[in-house]
Chains A and B, each alone.
Chain A
Amino acid sequence: MMITEISILRTLLTITGITLVVGINAVFVVWLERKVAGHMQFRLGPTEVGPAGLLQTVADGLKLLSKQIIFPSSADTPIFILAPIICLIPVFVALVPVPFSETLQAHELDIGLLLVIALGLLNTLGILLAGWGCDNKYALLGASRAVAQILAYKIPLLLCILPVILLAGTFSLREIVVAQEGTMWFAFYQPVAFFMYLIAITMETNRSPFDFAEAESELVAGFHTEYSGMMFSLFFLAEYTYMFLASAIASILFLGGWLGPILPGPVWMLLKIYFFLFLMMWFRWTFPRVRVDQMLAFGWKILLPVSLLNFLFTAGVMAVL
């Protein structure tokens, strides 16, 4: 590709746009999470900073920025520093092929979905490095749990995506949404895959009831036990961005992305994304944590066979029709 002025401009716009989306989303989702949690627990959540406490996260972020970062003396410093960056950058990049409307998309890729899945895997690498690098047994246990977990959810996750690929006939995220135009959303064709995918992304984003990589009551803070200040908040940012990404993919695959009556495309897209985010918050604040072995058994013995059968069934029906 020739480097033209337009392509440079587009790259700059992309970087600015994604940074804005990530930043504003983090501020909003953390606020939303605290509000949702508050109202589920007879509390109000943040109310002081800004209208209805909306700027509380900004204040917290500034506080975290100003805090000292403590490096454990026995930590493997390069890995210790690298871990939060490896957690955050891939989710950043993975937002590139996500379309927010027919025209609002950073870059259209034929294999957008594959790219998102591949980059999503790197998140666990970051967690593993964090657990390994800081020389803390709790962190190591948390990291090893995250690695055991990825095997249990990632294969069912892919098997839930494949029927949608079969229906749409493309790996491009934009084309998948276009394929749902004029017909029913894929969630109605693939209710089983939709449901399984919902469980799998809860696992993927390390959210309760599958949050045992950080499991507060068991592992203190799991893989980020030793992290403080801004490095800790990078993990936080990565988690909330990852939730946003996973919800965006879910709404594209199953709920028709930006499609919807009356309101403009991006609004519909955001509504659907925050619907999924709200679901995840709802799970988190009402369920106890699943035990590690129970989660693995659930992943391998229920999620995997059911999603495989669903995929084979879909493929069979498609072949006959």
Chain B
Amino acid sequence: MFESKTAPTYHLESMEENQFVLNLGPQHPGTHGVLRVVLHMDGEYILTADPVLGYGHRMQEKIAETMTYTQVLPYMARMDYLGALFYNQAWVCLVEKMCGFEVPKRAEYIRVLCAELNRIASHFLWFGAFLLDLGAFTPFLHAFADRERILDLLESVTGSRLTHCYFRFGGVGADVDNVFLAGAQAFVDHMRKHLPTYHSLVTGNVIFQQRTKDVGVILPFETWGYGISGPVLRGSGKQYDVRTSEPYSIYPELDFKVPVEQAGDCLARYLVRLREIEESLNIIEQTIAGMPKGPVRSKVPKIIKPPEGEAAMAVETPRGELMIYLVSDGSTVPYRVKYRVPSFANLSIFSHLARGRLLADALAILGSLDMVIPEVDR
């Protein structure tokens, strides 16, 4: 009964009296998207949990093979709609790497600045959604009020509020002005003052602590086997962040810490994300202070034709390690694109964590993994 299955097959006749199968989703307020989890329950306890994927499958990888390199860029960001700029970043860095394009310093600074703003926005949305899973409504709107400031900022430079497409091969779409930089600095100052409210509203709450402590513990040795990355990994005591372990862009020049918690439970993952917000604020402040003058885009050919060969590029998204693997045959369309998405890998440990727990715990765990379901399904 406790072995994991590849496909959920249950024999209702052979079930014991209190056992039943519960479909969590695809429409359910707790799964934040079209994720379906088939739960084999014994009363309130979960015996097995099998995620069923594919409701939002959009053939992202296959479609990428039919588009030019430029056309793929905006479509890709629809996968993780909360961290669109990270897909932008991974793709442009990858193509730049293959073609050997130069990127002006100012463009790199703008990229990091916007990406970190995007990371904070994503963490805010996660914070609200996670607390919603735990049954608290108010933190959601507090986080959204602050997220709104970021969306306004990003809208002013990227033109869109959610699925931004701002980075270009060899730079960024448009230069930022002083109003934007002043706004970003004002946001940093505001958040430094406002973050303690988050802690006093949520972190210290007895009920919150009870609900998250020792729930969904991921042991350090389990993380590599499941391919866990991002804040979930760092919540289990592993110091791994693509920004420092395989540095890209200007991250080596910046001074920031990679927050790590040892406990591996939902609370640890929560704390890691909140501390990441603080670190991102530090990064933003540094990029604003060190923003060089100069062009924001280098001269690149109108038609992108990477030489034959293959390359991979990994970036740290708010959810973990995103890697794009590209095979080029020298033509204007990619020959093969493979996405290694963090949400998918992080979801794989869910059935292991949910086994033997209460239904309420399972939803807390699902929330703490911070998944974007379209990214899982692709």
* B-binding residues in A (CB < 8 A): 37, 40-43, 137-138, 141, 144-145, 208-209, 211-212, 215-220, 285-294
Q: Are B141 and A286 in contact, CB atoms less than 8 angstroms apart?
A: no
Q: Are A291 and B138 in contact, CB atoms less than 8 angstroms apart?
A: no
Q: Are B135 and A289 in contact, CB atoms less than 8 angstroms apart?
A: yes
A residues in contact with B133, CB < 8 Å: 217
Q: Which of B28, B137, B141, B363 has the most chain A CB within a 10 Å cutoff? A: B137
Partner-binding segment picked from B109-117, B204-212, B346-354? B204-212
Q: Are B135 and A288 in contact, CB atoms less than 8 angstroms apart?
A: yes
B residues in contact with A219, CB < 8 Å: 359
A-B pair count, CB < 8 Å, reads: 83
- Given contacts A137-B22, A212-B360, A294-B210, 4 further A-B pairs with CB under 8 A are A41-B137, A141-B22, A219-B359, A289-B134
Q: Are A291 and B210 in contact, CB atoms less than 8 angstroms apart?
A: yes
Interface of B is mostly: helix
Among B131, B135, B141, B361, which residue has its beta carbon within 8 angstroms of that of A208? Answer: B135
Q: Are A290 and B137 in contact, CB atoms less than 8 angstroms apart?
A: no
Q: Are B361 and A291 in contact, CB atoms less than 8 angstroms apart?
A: yes
* A-binding residues in B (CB < 8 A): 20, 22, 28-30, 43-44, 131-138, 141-142, 145, 201-202, 205, 207-208, 210-211, 358-361, 363
Q: What is the minimal beta-carbon distance from B368 to any residue of chain A, in angstroms?
A: 13
Provide the bound-state CA to CA distance between A41 and B128, in Å: 12
Provide the bound-state CA to CA distance between A291 and B357, in Å: 11
B residues in contact with A212, CB < 8 Å: 360
Provide the bound-state CA to CA distance between A217 and B128, in Å: 13
Q: Are A292 and B358 in contact, CB atoms less than 8 angstroms apart?
A: yes
Q: Which of B131, B134, B135, B141 has the most chain A CB within a 10 Å cutoff? A: B135
Q: Are A141 and B138 in contact, CB atoms less than 8 angstroms apart?
A: no
Q: Are A216 and B136 in contact, CB atoms less than 8 angstroms apart?
A: no
Q: Are B134 and A41 in contact, CB atoms less than 8 angstroms apart?
A: no
Q: Are A41 and B138 in contact, CB atoms less than 8 angstroms apart?
A: yes
Q: Are B360 and A218 in contact, CB atoms less than 8 angstroms apart?
A: yes
B residues in contact with A216, CB < 8 Å: 29, 135
Given A137-B22, A141-B359, A293-B358, answer yes or no on A288-B208 (Cβ-Cβ < 8 Å). yes
B residues in contact with A209, CB < 8 Å: 135, 207
Q: What is the minimal beta-carbon distance from B214 to any residue of chain A, in angstroms?
A: 12
Q: Are B141 and A42 in contact, CB atoms less than 8 angstroms apart?
A: yes
Q: Are B142 and A288 in contact, CB atoms less than 8 angstroms apart?
A: no
Provide the bound-state CA to CA distance between A304 and B227, in Å: 47
Provide the bound-state CA to CA distance between A118 and B132, in Å: 35
Given A41-B141, A41-B142, answer yes or no on A288-B29 (Cβ-Cβ < 8 Å). no
A residues in contact with B136, CB < 8 Å: 286-289
28 sampled A-B residue pairs with Cβ under 8 A: A37-B138, A41-B141, A141-B22, A144-B43, A208-B135, A209-B135, A209-B207, A211-B135, A215-B135, A217-B363, A218-B30, A218-B359, A219-B359, A220-B29, A285-B137, A286-B201, A287-B136, A287-B207, A288-B131, A288-B134, A288-B205, A288-B207, A288-B208, A288-B211, A290-B210, A291-B360, A292-B358, A294-B211
Instruction: For the complex of A and B, list the 10 residue pairs with the smallest distance between their C-beta atoms, beginning with the closest.
Output: A289-B135, A41-B141, A288-B136, A288-B134, A217-B30, A217-B133, A291-B360, A288-B135, A285-B138, A288-B207
B residues in contact with A287, CB < 8 Å: 135-136, 205, 207
Q: Are B141 and A215 in contact, CB atoms less than 8 angstroms apart?
A: no
Q: What is the minimal beta-carbon distance from B38 to any residue of chain A, in angstroms?
A: 12
Q: Are A217 and B138 in contact, CB atoms less than 8 angstroms apart?
A: no
Q: What is the minimal beta-carbon distance from A32 to any residue of chain B, in angstroms?
A: 16
Q: Are A217 and B132 in contact, CB atoms less than 8 angstroms apart?
A: yes
Provide the bound-state CA to CA distance between A290 and B135, in Å: 8
Provide the bound-state CA to CA distance between A144 and B43, in Å: 9
Q: Which of B134, B205, B361 has the most chain A CB within a 10 Å cutoff? A: B134
Q: What is the minimal beta-carbon distance from A215 to any residue of chain B, in angstroms?
A: 7
Q: What is the minimal beta-carbon distance from A42 to any residue of chain B, in angstroms?
A: 5
Provide the bound-state CA to CA distance between A42 and B131, in Å: 17
B residues in contact with A37, CB < 8 Å: 137-138
Q: Are B360 and A289 in contact, CB atoms less than 8 angstroms apart?
A: yes
Q: Which residue of B lies closest to A294 (CB)?
A: B210
Q: Which residue of A lies closest to B44 (CB)?
A: A292
A residues in contact with B211, CB < 8 Å: 288-291, 294
Provide the bound-state CA to CA distance between A228 and B361, in Å: 29
Q: What is the minimal beta-carbon distance from A31 to any residue of chain B, in angstroms?
A: 18
A residues in contact with B22, CB < 8 Å: 137-138, 141
A residues in contact with B28, CB < 8 Å: 220
